[in-house]
Amino acid sequence: MSTPYPFTALVGQDDLRLALLLNAVSPAVGGVLVRGEKGTAKSTAVRALSALLPEVDVVPGCRFSCAPGAPDPSCPDGPHEAGGGVARAARMVELPVGASEDRLVGALDIERALAEGVKAFEPGLLADAHRGILYVDEVNLLHDHLVDLLLDAAAMGASYVEREGVSVRHAARFLLVGTMNPEEGELRPQLLDRFGLTVEVSASREPDQRVEVVRRRLAYDDDPDGFAARWGDEEGAVRGRIVAARALLPRVRLGDGALRQIAATCAAFEVDGMRADIVMARTATALAAWAGREDVLAEDVRQAALLALPHRRRRNPFDAPGLDEDKLDETLEEFGENDGDDEPDPDGGGPDGGGGQPPQDSGPEQSGDGAAATPEAADDGQPGAGGAGEQQAVRAGEPFRTKVLSVPGLGEGAAGRRSRARTEHGRTTGARRPRGALTKLHLAATVQAAAPHQRARGRSGRGLVVRRDDLRQATREGREGNLVLFVVDASGSMAARQRMSAVKGAVLSLLLDAYQRRDKVGLVTFRGSGAEVALPPTSSVDAAAVRLESLPTGGRTPIAAGLLRAHEVLRVERLRDPARRPLVIVVTDGRATGGVEPVAQAGRAARLFAAEGQASVVVDCESGPVRLGLAGQLAGELGGTAVTLDELRADSIAGLVKDVRESYGSARRVA
């Protein structure tokens, strides 16, 4: 096993180190979600922490790591008698993004069950991680059903397996750490809330600090063992401090004053539910224990808020996480005036001191690169400085719930919530011979395959003689995520302020829908003399929302250029991810202008999509009393469908269905 990079050798990243250490002191805090750009030592820090955790005593031979002093009475390998155990290092178990549900929670060994008649349970990664660390890199790319299982186990401290005739419960208490790059997609808000703490990490902009990072990394790569040995004393000191803080934790007093500050802070920032209050209380207690104190102070409450609340105050998926520190200080001061015990500790600060340093995030108005997430909508209807006829960007209108747009047919793409697909999870639709290891047994089909051969196999008795060739894999139908490629008309015909605001609001609504359905998204815009890829296909729909907000308008309407650029994007993406089916959404009024024979060129470009059977929808943005119907003609050339902005709303569709049903009912009554 390679020597891990020393935790104490990490440069900077105070918030990340502090959050990890607090969870090492008190796993009840609920884990850490680490958000940040690539190359910011997220994975390095997590792997380094495992070397600092104290050894654990386990029952010899127990696959579920039961503690010898208090063995789990429900342990599948039990019952165990209380007594001496063996010491081993705390494990760090990594959950791969592509892991199956069976690998995570464990499963019945189907082949042994059928061939030998025994219920043999094979433990999963949750059992391996008990009393250690469970690390999920790129947790935002993990399938939703795995995230649900993972976070449920983390919240309950146990894993329950009820499947294929197996009913197993075993302890699963671990330090959950997830890392993610927000550019590759966000976690759903309800899943964000299940992580106790979150920290934002970014590379330092200080040259001296960056030099030190490179110097230490090169020294480690040249001689990992020697480098680790040089940090041995510091590592031992932190390891001892974790042990001392764990011992002190039960004696830490969380006074009524601190509890009032916690409750007032959560109420002031309008977080949903009570989980935030509980996490803040546990975090503040762990901070006090880490600082060697038996009382929770106001500084502990403040630091706990900065770690536990930013990801819980987001009101929609496109809000940047953050916390208004001035508002936080005012709330703490208002509700801490009569609490004389909550005076700041002059010795606190930093991950090796008291409450730690506050996160460096400057607030919800900043995006990941330090620039404003939403530009000022200063459009006055006059041409801007970006070029002849160009209008300044306008804000998007209010988003709304949209009609469900899906790709026809049956796909085999990544799990999601948009189009029908063959998936590992969903309703059973048939059976087939297994390709590789059997994961989902179709019992009826297996029995049917084995039944005709029982006499030839010399069956004697009630048991069924089953061979490997008889086993049948269940085929299931669920939903997949798609690549939703937006092709947005940003020409002068769309530039009227109210009209473009409504168009952006519609696209933003479709982006929200794509976020909820776990799609990848891309954005192509066309105006003037050509088209550009404003956002290559990505899982980060919030990045698409930012690009949409800053989208300028003006010039002619080169529809053909936009369609051809979209066709090229799909060609490249098909090579990268052939299983993911695309859905093209063209947002335009259909008025092709500019160049030679613009309407004919647009028709020829559209027929490329029709020839390939590409699923497409045209959102008709034409307005006014006189409508030419050009967007509908474009939809016909594409081989797709057209919807107006009004028809895109889910409530409009629901109303239409209701009217049809009422008319149908009236007709039946008359008949």
* CA distances in angstroms from 207 to 48, 211, 431, listed in the order given: 24, 6, 61
Q: Tokens for 409?
A: 């047919």
Strand segments, DSSP code E, in 497-605 are: 520-527, 530-538, 553-554, 582-588
Instruction: Decide the pairing of beta strands 175-180 and 32-36.
Output: parallel
Decide: 558 and 489 in contact? Cβ < 8 Å. Answer: no
* CA distances in angstroms from 606 to 95, 168, 355, 507, 634, listed in the order given: 44, 56, 61, 21, 7
Amino acid residing at 342? D
Instruction: State how far the Cα of 48 lies from the Cα of 224, in Å rounded to an integer.
Output: 13
Instruction: State how far the Cα of 530 lies from the Cα of 491, in Å rounded to an integer.
Output: 10
- How far is C-alpha 235 from the chain's CA centre? 33
Instruction: State how far the Cα of 495 lies from the Cα of 621, in Å rounded to an integer.
Output: 11
Instruction: State how far the Cα of 172 lies from the Cα of 408, in Å rounded to an integer.
Output: 42
Residue 166: beta bridge partners?
163
Number of Cβ within a 10 Å radius of residue 570: 20
CA-CA-CA-CA torsion sign (47, 48, 53, 59): positive
CA torsion, ordered 611, 612, 616, 618, to nearest 10 deg: -30
387: left (phi over 0), alpha (psi -120 to 50) or beta: left
Q: Identify which of 137, 617, 545 has the alpha carbon closest to the alpha carbon of residue 374.
A: 545
- In the numeric block, the tokens 């186990």 are attached to 153
Give 88's contacts (C-beta < 8 A, 6+ positions apart).
55, 56, 58
Amino acid residing at 547? R
CA-CA-CA-CA torsion sign (141, 146, 150, 155): positive
Give 573's contacts (C-beta < 8 A, 6+ positions apart).
483, 522, 537, 580, 582
Decide: 539 and 181 in contact? Cβ < 8 Å. Answer: no
Instruction: State how far the Cα of 97 lies from the Cα of 104, in Å rounded to an integer.
Output: 11
> Which stretch of DSSP H or E encloses residue 619?
strand 616-620
Decide: 106 and 148 in contact? Cβ < 8 Å. Answer: no
Instruction: State how far the Cα of 90 lies from the Cα of 50, in Å rounded to an integer.
Output: 7
422 is catalytic: no
* CA distances in angstroms from 543 to 203, 520, 536, 575, 630, listed in the order given: 20, 11, 10, 23, 31
Q: Tokens for 127?
A: 């059992």
Amino acid residing at 581? R
Instruction: List for the chain the helix, strand, coil content (%; round to 5).
Output: 40, 20, 40
Decide: 35 and 45 in contact? Cβ < 8 Å. Answer: no
Which among 239, 275, 476, 574 is annotated as catalytic?
275
- State the catalytic residues: 275
